[in-house]
A and B are shown apart, each in its own frame.
Chain A
Amino acid sequence: MSDSPVALENHGQHGPELRHHFATAQQQRDAASLGMWLFLGTEIMFFGGMFLAYLIYRLWYFNEFAAGSRSLDIKLGTVNTIVLICSSLTVALGVRAAQMGKRKLLVVLLILTLIFGLAFLGIKGVEWYAKYKEHHIPGASFDASDLIRDYPQIHIDPSHEQIYFSLYFAMTGLHALHMIIGIGIFSYLLYHAAKGRYTPEYYTPIDLGGLYWHFVDVVWIYLFPLLYLIDRKPLG
C-alpha cells in the first residue's frame, strides 16, 4: 500500500470496475481502503462524545449507574454480544470467500451475517420493550421508584438515574441505527454477490462493508461492559 505517486499512463489491461481517474486497480483499492479507515475514525469521534458524557456522569453518579446497569438483562446482553461476535466471524469468512472466488460460500456467509444482525436487533427490541414496561424510558413517564425500592442501601436520585437511562438509550439507539445501516449495506452486498459481481480481482465493497461491520461490533464490545457490567458483584 505504497504512498508514492503512480503513473497515470500505466493502464494495461483492467477490469470494468476500474474507475478512470485511477491509474491502476491497486491505486483504487488503496484509496478505498484509506477512505474507509478515515471514515471509521470519524465514527470513533462521533461515539466518543457520548463516551465522554458517560465517563463524567458515571464518575459523579456511580450509584445510579450501578443500579441502572443491574436492571438490564445481562443474559440477553451476553447473548447479543455473542451474536455480534459470530456475525463478525461470518463477515471475516465472507471476505475470505470473496478473495478465493467462492461465490456460493460468500452468499451463505452474507445471509448468516444478516440473520445475526437481525437477531441482534430483535433482542435489542425485546430489551427496550422491557425497559418500556419498567418505566425506564426517559421522559414524562420515567419512574425510578422500583430501583429505589430494590436498592434501599444505596442512594438513588431519580434525576441522576434518568441520566443513566438517557445515555443508555442514546448510546444503544445510535448503535442500533448503525446496525440498521449495516444491514442495509449487507443486503446490497448480498444482492450483488448473488449476481457474481465480486471476484478475487474486485471485492472491495465486501472488504469495506466488512470493516464497517467490524467497527459497529467493536463499539458494542465497549458498550456492553460499560452499560451492563457496572458493579455486578453481589452487594454487601
Chain B
Amino acid sequence: MFDNLPLWPARASAGAGNVDALYIFLVLLATFMSVAIFSMILVFALRYRRQPGRTAEQIEGSNALEITWSVVPLGIFMVIFAWGAVIYFQERTPPRDATEIYVVAKQWMWKLEHVEGQREINELHVPVGRDIEMIMTSQDVIHSFYVPAFRIKQDVLPGRYTTAWFRAIKPGVYHLFCAEYCGSQHSGMIGQVVVMEPAQYEAWLSGGNTSGSLASNGESIFQQLGCVTCHRSDTQGRGPSLAGIFGKPVQLEDGRTVIADENYIRESILSPSAKIVKGFKPIMPVFQGLVSEEQLTELVAYVKSLSAPPGAGTKVQESKVQ
C-alpha cells in the first residue's frame, strides 16, 4: 500500500515487506512515545504553571515508577531486537541454489558478471522471482552495494568476498547506490537493477555479448598460468586435486580444518602459504599481483564448477569471523 506516497521506496524484493513492517511498527511506536512526552510536557507546563498562591509539591521519587519505566521499555526493546534479528538472519542467509552474480567494485563503478559470462557495468539485469546471491569484492577501497527497493546493503571490501542476496518480486528499474564513501565520485557510483520477466531475461541473456561463461574463462586461465601442472585431476600432482573440494572441509598441515569457500580459494591463489593442505609441501608460487580481480573471480567460478554442475550456486561461508 501507499505506493504513491514517497515515504519509502518500492517494495521490489521478497524481504522488503518484512523490513517495512518492522519500520512501520517502530514509526508508530516512536510517534506514540514522542507525542506522549510532548503532550505530557505541554499539559504539565500549562496545568502546573506558576500561579499566585500555589507552591510546588516536593516529590522525592517513586521506586515503583522507576522499576516500571525501566522494565517495560526494556521488554519492548527486546521484542524489537528479536524482530530485527530475525529479519537480519534472513537477510544474511542466502538460500541454497541461488544464482550467483559476481561483483567487482572499483572507484567509481560497479562491474557485474553473470555466471554465463555476461558482463555489465553499473547495471544488473535479473529475472523476477529468482534468488540472486551477489559475491562481491573491491579493487581498491571499501564500497557498499545498496539497492533501496530491495532493502539490502552490504559493504564491499578489498581483499575478501562479502555476499548479499535478494529475490526480486516486481519487474522494474531500481536504483543501485554506493553507500560507503569512497572518494571523489562516490555519488556518481550509481546504477540500476533491471528486473525482467523470466522470458525477457532469457532473451537478454542470449542476445548479449558473451565472452564465455565465468567458469570456462576460469578454466583457460587455469591452463595459462600453469595451475594445471600441479593441480592435476588425479592424485599424482604436486598440489591437491581441486575436483569436488568446493564447500567441503579441508585438512591443513597445522592441524586446522577449514571449509573450502570462495575466500579460501582466493587466499590460496594470492597467499598460498597461509593454509597448506595436509600432506603437501609449501611450494605453490604466489600469484598476488599476477591476477586481476576479474581473473580471480573466474578462477573461483571454475573451481566451484569442479564440484557441482555449472550454474548451481553454493553458499559462501565467511572464513574470517570478524
Listed in ascending order, the chain A residues whose CB lies under 8 Å from chain B are 63, 155-157, 159-160
Report the bound CA distance from A63 to B254 in whole Å. 11
B56 CB, nearest partner CB in chain A, Å:
29
B3 CB, nearest partner CB in chain A, Å:
47
Greatest chain A CB density within 10 A among B274, B286, B288 is at B274
Residues of B contacting A156 in the complex (Cβ-Cβ under 8 angstroms): 273
The closest CB in chain A to the CB of B286 belongs to A157
Report the bound CA distance from A156 to B273 in whole Å. 7
Report the bound CA distance from A157 to B273 in whole Å. 7
Q: Does B251 contact A (CB under 8 A)?
A: no
The closest CB in chain B to the CB of A61 belongs to B274
Report the bound CA distance from A157 to B276 in whole Å. 13
Report the bound CA distance from A103 to B276 in whole Å. 64
Task: Tell me the B272-314 residues at the A interface (CB within 8 Å).
Answer: 273-274, 276, 282, 286, 288
Q: Report the contact-size class of chain B (Cβ under 8 Å from the partner).
A: under 10
Report the bound CA distance from A63 to B282 in whole Å. 13
The closest CB in chain A to the CB of B272 belongs to A155
B93 CB, nearest partner CB in chain A, Å:
26
Report the bound CA distance from A8 to B181 in whole Å. 56
Q: Does B217 contact A (CB under 8 A)?
A: no
Q: Does B271 contact A (CB under 8 A)?
A: yes
Residues of A contacting B288 in the complex (Cβ-Cβ under 8 angstroms): 159
Residues of A contacting B282 in the complex (Cβ-Cβ under 8 angstroms): 155
- 10 A-B pairs closest in CB distance: A155-B273, A155-B282, A157-B271, A157-B273, A155-B276, A157-B274, A156-B273, A155-B274, A157-B286, A159-B271
Residues of B contacting A157 in the complex (Cβ-Cβ under 8 angstroms): 271, 273-274, 286
Report the bound CA distance from A47 to B87 in whole Å. 39
Greatest chain B CB density within 10 A among A63, A156, A157, A159 is at A157
Report the bound CA distance from A159 to B282 in whole Å. 17
Report the bound CA distance from A156 to B276 in whole Å. 12
B44 CB, nearest partner CB in chain A, Å:
36
Residues of A contacting B286 in the complex (Cβ-Cβ under 8 angstroms): 157
Residues of A contacting B271 in the complex (Cβ-Cβ under 8 angstroms): 157, 159-160
Residues of B contacting A63 in the complex (Cβ-Cβ under 8 angstroms): 273
Residues of B contacting A160 in the complex (Cβ-Cβ under 8 angstroms): 271
The closest CB in chain A to the CB of B253 belongs to A155
Report the bound CA distance from A110 to B308 in whole Å. 74
Report the bound CA distance from A156 to B272 in whole Å. 10
Report the bound CA distance from A82 to B282 in whole Å. 40
A to B CB contacts below 8 Å, 13 in the list? A63-B273, A155-B273, A155-B274, A155-B276, A155-B282, A156-B273, A157-B271, A157-B273, A157-B274, A157-B286, A159-B271, A159-B288, A160-B271
Residues of B contacting A159 in the complex (Cβ-Cβ under 8 angstroms): 271, 288
Report the bound CA distance from A159 to B271 in whole Å. 10
Residues of A contacting B276 in the complex (Cβ-Cβ under 8 angstroms): 155
Report the bound CA distance from A155 to B288 in whole Å. 16
Residues of A contacting B274 in the complex (Cβ-Cβ under 8 angstroms): 155, 157
The closest CB in chain B to the CB of A63 belongs to B273
Greatest chain B CB density within 10 A among A155, A156, A157, A159 is at A155
The closest CB in chain A to the CB of B282 belongs to A155
Apart from the given pairs A157-B274, A157-B286, A160-B271, 10 other A-B contacts in the complex at a CB distance below 8 Å: A63-B273, A155-B273, A155-B274, A155-B276, A155-B282, A156-B273, A157-B271, A157-B273, A159-B271, A159-B288
Report the bound CA distance from A159 to B286 in whole Å. 12
Report the bound CA distance from A159 to B274 in whole Å. 11
A65 CB, nearest partner CB in chain B, Å:
13
Q: How would residues 53 to 73 of chain B score, 1 for a CB under 8 Å from any chain A CB and 0 otherwise?
A: 000000000000000000000
